[in-house]
Structure 1
């Protein structure tokens, strides 16, 4: 072997060693990393601080504000061999929010599981329990151009509970109506006690509606006498004629036309009493004068005075004196 050939072989060994050394020191340069992921309309890649993307690296995108992922479309890329990313198409678009929630209806299947509602999308509702369908009105809503929902018709009506009936010795107060969600209140007549619930509600029972509680009973209260008392006839008393109406106090009724009799009776009593008192005073005066001396009167009154006061008349009937002459 010539010296020149031996020198060439030594150089090849040296180059092989340098190659192995480079592979150990710079592995990423050999593996051909991908460049940063591509831009996608209306979406942003979730890099999480990464700056290098080796082969088989996966990057996922998130839709920007006011945009929603289109169901079934890819939202991630993979770094392939040869420093290339896997292809990705636009997958974010504008969408209406979740369809309007209705008090009387819910979304039909499968609309209640969707999250993407593009312009022109139509959803359909069905009545909730406790309501019945009005087929003359539409049960649909549409995502409009401004990405708001059209206002649905009120296409469901409340179901009606049955007639609650009647309570013996009581009554039922229907506050509004007897439709689904309504309430009724029970009460008893005076002298009776409520036994059972005081109210009931029209609720869903199976696939229809009915009252939540049965009717109560009204039983006679133990404090109420079973014998009805005989009503007393009112007593009337007169009041002045200026009073135009009767005034009732307790069991006594005052009437204007009867008071004058009582007033006249009182006035008559006062006059009689005055006469009697005056007569007694005159008797006392005459008695005092009789004790103190003789009575000198006119001739036509002497006999009457003698008889009234038990006096003695003189023989010539000229005067009267006390006692015997």
Structure 2
């Protein structure tokens, strides 16, 4: 025995194994419960898991190791009672994950609350609302395989179809895909009509069936406001209402001229009826402009060998009679101008006739005198002249 070794250590070496166990038991009694029991595939969840002494009534919870899950119904905790831990059995086992979520089906109620799915476990689905089983009927079951994965489920459900939306009067229904659950349709009206209601609808779940999210809209006829009235004019064939593409015609009263478009039409802009153009206006008709009278000279054959000329004035009153009849005022104006022209023409005609007649008479007398004087001169040459011819001859001188 070496020198300097403590006496207590020398004593412990002399003790036998049973005596050592009694000493450890005495220490445990002083701490109520000793170290925690070992549980396969699980470990203590508390922070004091490494402790070797636990007071009376201490409870320690275990959790399963990674890759294992708790077996339903088995305890997962121990309690320190009367200086010893309560019994605990293996409660963890290998299990598949929670069954996959399917877009067209859900787990039956018997499997919804479970989280333990050991190998060879079978679960069953049922169609979601808005879906129905396909024909021929296929299985809606899957199985947990040895590699802890689920078998691939068959797509055994299909979407339900919404009823036919019907017919939109004076409009159209645009079906972009189909009428199955989740599809969308769009509504539009014919030109000249305005949509009242929703412009689209979805096929959605309604109770245990499917239906459209909104009812069919209506297409209301668009009416233009009354066309504006115009002064000194009117609307031809005026009506009570004016619909899309309706044409209105204007005309002016007598004595007025229309300025602008005589036809305007009912159009639609932003679902509101309006007129394509502003109404025309009626202005007073201007009096006709009479051009200045231009005299013209024409030659006419005169009596005998001497030509004579006559002067006539060309009047334009006959060509303007239609314009003069357009109004009382214009008529008076034409009368005031036309009467002097007619009077003047008549005066010139009378003057010309008198002048012509006088000229013919004078010419006849002069011709007769010349013949007489010529005969007297011839008689004088023959010296056969009477006293009466003598007197006539004197007048020729």
- Displacement of 1:185: 0.2
Other-structure match for 1:90: 90
Distance 1:216 1:32, change over 3 A: closer
Residues 159-209 of structure 1 show CA distances to partners (whole Å, capped at 9, x for unaligned) of: 111111111111100011111111100011122211111001111112111
Distance 1:64 1:30, change over 3 A: closer
Other-structure match for 2:199: 198
On the 8 A contact 1:31/1:55 being kept in 2, the answer is: no
1:58 and 2:59 are equivalent in the alignment? yes
Flag the structure with larger Rg: 2
| Correspondence for 1:227 among 236, 241, 246 | 246
Other-structure match for 2:118: 118
Distance in 2 between residues matched to 1:225 and 1:187, nearest whole Å = 17
Other-structure match for 2:130: 130
On the 8 A contact 1:180/1:202 being kept in 2, the answer is: yes
On the 8 A contact 2:28/2:53 being kept in 1, the answer is: no
Distance in 2 between residues matched to 1:185 and 1:58, nearest whole Å = 65
- Displacement of 1:30: 5.0
- Displacement of 1:46: 2.7
Distance in 2 between residues matched to 1:150 and 1:129, nearest whole Å = 24
- Displacement of 1:31: 4.9
Higher RCO (CA-CA < 8 Å; seq separation 6+): 1
Deviates more, 1:103-112 or 1:54-63: 54-63
1:110 is paired with a residue whose SS is helix
Distance 1:228 1:145, change over 3 A: farther
Count matched residues: 203
Distance 1:214 1:31, change over 3 A: same
Other-structure match for 2:106: 106
On the 8 A contact 1:172/1:186 being kept in 2, the answer is: yes
Other-structure match for 1:283: none
Residues 17-36 of structure 1 show CA distances to partners (whole Å, capped at 9, x for unaligned) of: xxxxxxxxxx9765563321
RMSD: 2.3
2:223 is paired with a residue whose SS is coil
- Displacement of 1:217: 1.2
1:211 and 2:230 are equivalent in the alignment? no
2:109 is paired with a residue whose SS is coil
On the 8 A contact 2:192/2:244 being kept in 1, the answer is: no
- Displacement of 1:228: 6.3
Distance in 1 between residues matched to 2:110 and 2:56, nearest whole Å = 40
Correspondence 1:1-325 to 2 at 5 A = 31=30, 33-49=32-48, 50-81=51-82, 83-134=83-134, 136-223=137-224, 224-225=243-244, 227=246
Distance 1:167 1:229, change over 3 A: farther
On the 8 A contact 2:184/2:202 being kept in 1, the answer is: yes
Give every structure 1 segment of 4 or more consecutive aligned residues whose post-TM-superposition deviation is greater than 6 Å: none
On the 8 A contact 2:36/2:52 being kept in 1, the answer is: no
On the 8 A contact 1:169/1:218 being kept in 2, the answer is: yes
On the 8 A contact 2:45/2:63 being kept in 1, the answer is: yes
